[in-house]
Structure formats: C-alpha cells, structure tokens
Structure 1
Amino acid sequence: MLGPPPVVPLRPRAPRPTALPTPRTAKPNTDPTTTTTTTSSTASAGKAATMGAAAWWRRALGQRLNPAGVAAVAAVAASEPRLALPHVSLQDIRWLDWAELRHAGFRGVVFDKDNTLTAPYVPALWPPLADAFDQCRATFPPGALAIYSNSAGLKEYDPDGVDAKVIEAAIEGIHVIRHDIKKPGGTAKEIESYFGCSASNLVLVGDRYFTDVVYGNRNGFLTVLTEPLNFANESYIVRMVRKLEAYIISYWYKKGHKPIKHPLLPDARRIVKFDPYDDSSGSKSIA
C-alpha cells in the first residue's frame, strides 16, 4: 500500500524521490516573486475582468458556508478517514510530471480553481504556473483540461455560466464544467460526460482535503493536493478551517491511515518532478 503522499525534494535524488512527507500545515506558496506578481495581478485582474459585486459576494458566502463539507468531515471521520488522504501532496502543479501521468493511462486533468490555478476570485491563471500549465496542455489532447469549482460553473452561484465563460476566455485550453452540487457532494456524472470516460481515468487537482480530496477519492479520481497559492482574498474562516483540516489529517496519518490505492498508479512517486526552481537539478523535460 502507498504511504503518505510523496515528498517534493529541494534537491534531486537519484533516480526518483524516495521519502514520503509528513502531512503539511496549511500555508501559502512563499516564492517572493510570486507574492509580488500576484498582488498586482489580483488587483488588476479583479478590476479588468470583474465577475460582478453580487457574484463575488455569493461566491464568498458560499465558500464560507459549505454544509456538505461539514457533513463530509463528520462522515469521513466516522467511517473512512483515508477518503481525505490524497494520493499525492505537493506545493503546486509545477511539481507534477504530466508525461508520466499520460504514460500511466490518465486521459485528462480536472482542476479546482481558487488557490489551485488562480488566486481567489481572479479568473486569470496564477502567473508563475504558466509554464507548467502550458506543459500540461501540450501533454494532453485538446479538451482534456477542465475546472470543477465550488464557485464558477456551480449553478447555485453561476446559474448563467457568466463566471465560467470569463475563466474560459482568460485561460486558454480550459473548460469550466457546469454542475449542480457543491464538492464534496455529488457524483462525477458531469465530469465523466464531458470527458467521455470514467473518473478513474482522470486526475483531480485541488487545495482542500475535505472538499477536493474527499470528492475525488469518493468518485475514483487520482487525487493531487496542492498548497494554497495566496491568502489575500481568502476569508479568516476559510483559513481557520484549513488549519483544522491539517490538524485532523496529521492525526490520521499518525494513527497509520493510508491513502486509497489507485489502479493506474501503484507508485505515486512516479509523477513527482524534482524542484522546479533549481535549474541545476536536471529535472526531466516534459515532451
């Protein structure tokens, strides 16, 4: 069985990362260039491509109050904690080896939006992720990348798909899946219908244990957990919930719980690249 999700080493080890990390605490991506870039990007993108004040408040309120998420914590805690444990945990998508994922048989990638691909409430891609996203887009066939969000595309908060269209215009090659039920509730029927395959052939990338990871594991995805990109527009309540989630997950790891096995990827370390910030690391190219 897999141990805890694979570590992202700061320096290369031959031939692949061999250790598995202790559960991480919830903290932002701390690249100083990223912080500077995103502060201005958040401000400009929020003004230039605003989704409307009313939509912003609906989305913000929706992310603060997620009854399905609360129920998921109780259900997972009472029955199967491993549903909240990701197959892979790393800083952000720059550590993912898209070519290895494709080689393993995965047919597409489903991303959460806020704090996974973009800053909260911003439609444009987080600038430091541009190269990694381009590599992902080049590796998978056209139409094989999508966003499944608890805001944009969710009919409760985006009934006309206006937010979804703004994001699709801002991030080339991404499709925002329209759906009815907030994660972690619901099935993967809308996603499977869009991709034309089982969820077990797809990767789900998100930044929350009890929404993205629980939803993904319940429905058979390969689950990848990333750290939040930026806390600037995230509410105090959400930040506190992140800390609670990290505490619970850490406790479960210490109790010996393991992630669910995925049939396409027995060894999740295969898809973890070396440190993308270190040009001397000899990281594999993704072609």
Structure 2
Amino acid sequence: MAKMQQNFNSAGVGLFLSLFGGRQSLALPHIAVPDIRHVDWEGLRAAGFRGLVFDKDNTLSEPFALHVEPRLQSSLSRCMAAFEGRAVLYSNSAGLKQYDPDGKEAEQLEAALGIPVLRHTEKKPSGGSAELEAHFGCPASDLIMVGDRYLTDIAFGNRHGMLTVHVQPLTSKGEPLGVLLVGRL
C-alpha cells in the first residue's frame, strides 16, 4: 500500500493542472542532456555552483535499484570530485518522513550509492528548500537540481531558483503507469 501511495503525488498533479494556467516555465529545465555523462561538472563548479541535488530513480539508477547505473559511474565520480562530495539525493520516498520515518531506506541508499540522502518532510515539487539550504549552508540558488521528471524534479528546482538539469529517464521498466502517461504528455 505504501508503494502505491508513493506513486501518487498530489503536488505533482496540482502542478500539472496549473501548467495550463500559464506556469509552463516551471517545468522547463535550464539544461537538457541524455544523461549525466553529458554535463560539464567542472564548468558548473567554476561558474560558482556549490552543490548538487540528485533525484535517484531513472537519473542515477534504474527505479528501485540499489546501485548506480554502471555506464554512469565514472561521470558520477567526476562530478563528486568537482563538487568535493557536496551532493545529496532528494527522493520522494527514501528520506521522506511520510514513507521513511526512521530513515532506514535512506541509510540503505547511502550505504549502497555513497551519497547522503536528505531527510525531508515534503515531496517534490511542493517541498521547500530550507532543509537543502541548511544541509549545504548556502541559498538554493547556488545549487543544481538534476532529475528525469519535469513535473517533480525540474519544477522543484525551478521553484527554488536552482539551476535545473533534465536527463532522459534511463528506462521505462518499473515506472508506474501514471508516470509513463505524464511523461508522454
């Protein structure tokens, strides 16, 4: 039941409906690439960005997998080096108090991927940036949001003034039907 609840995102549905009211820019990324191998991490760090906020599923790994997609590993290592490890995973499941109240899923992901999972109270895109700003010690506008979903990852980053990087989903395998339908729209 909890997994089904995770697949429904009322804030994401609300944002989708508001796009018809003229808020399309929230879903437009600053940078769009096939995957993280196509990002100049050193250039972004040199431009003054201070930290990375990653979505996990279909951005760094296949949905629900506990390892980084092998073809992305060297690029992830390069970006972690460029940003001196200043990165977090911001998930709508692991680390979200509603679904992971004791942080066990977050701890499992941290051990498997080697990236801290931000503990937070609200799903993307409705969540605030206070937890991110406290973690990084800088305004959200100094951060980069990287994700595969326009209506959650990109909208969240844009709402908080982050540089947003959209990557193509790694696979459609394991994605809920609603996510696949919205992706096509």
Q: Which TM-score applies when normalising by structure 2?
A: 0.96
1:11 equivalent in structure 2:
none
RMSD: 1.2
1:80 aligns with 2:23: yes
Q: Which sections of structure 2, spanning at least 5 residues, go unmatched?
A: none
Q: Distance in 1 between matches of 2:4 and 2:71?
A: 25
1:58 aligns with 2:2: yes
Number of equivalenced pairs: 185
Please show how residues 140-219 of structure 1 align to structure 2 within 5 Å: 140-142=83-85, 144-172=86-114, 174-219=115-160
Structure with max Cα Rg:
1
Q: Which sections of structure 1, spanning at least 5 residues, go unmatched?
A: 1-56, 245-287
Q: Distance in 2 between matches of 1:120 and 1:60?
A: 14
The runs of 4+ residues in structure 1 deviating greater than 3 Å are none
1:68 aligns with 2:11: yes
What is the aligned-residue identity percentage? 48
Q: Distance in 2 between matches of 1:59 and 1:86?
A: 28
Q: Distance in 2 between matches of 1:115 and 1:236?
A: 15
Question: What is the one-letter code of the residue matched to 1:201?
Answer: D
1:75, distance to aligned residue in structure 2 (A)? 2.1
Q: Distance in 2 between matches of 1:217 and 1:114?
A: 19
2:67 equivalent in structure 1:
124
SS of alignment partner, residue 165 of structure 2:
strand
Q: Distance in 2 between matches of 1:146 and 1:84?
A: 21
1:111 aligns with 2:54: yes
Change in 2 beyond 3 A, CA 1:195/1:58: same
SS of alignment partner, residue 204 of structure 1:
strand
1:237, distance to aligned residue in structure 2 (A)? 2.4
1:140, distance to aligned residue in structure 2 (A)? 1.1
Q: Distance in 1 between matches of 2:158 and 2:110?
A: 26
- Larger relative contact order (C-alpha < 8 A, sep ≥ 6)? 1
Q: Which TM-score applies when normalising by structure 1?
A: 0.62
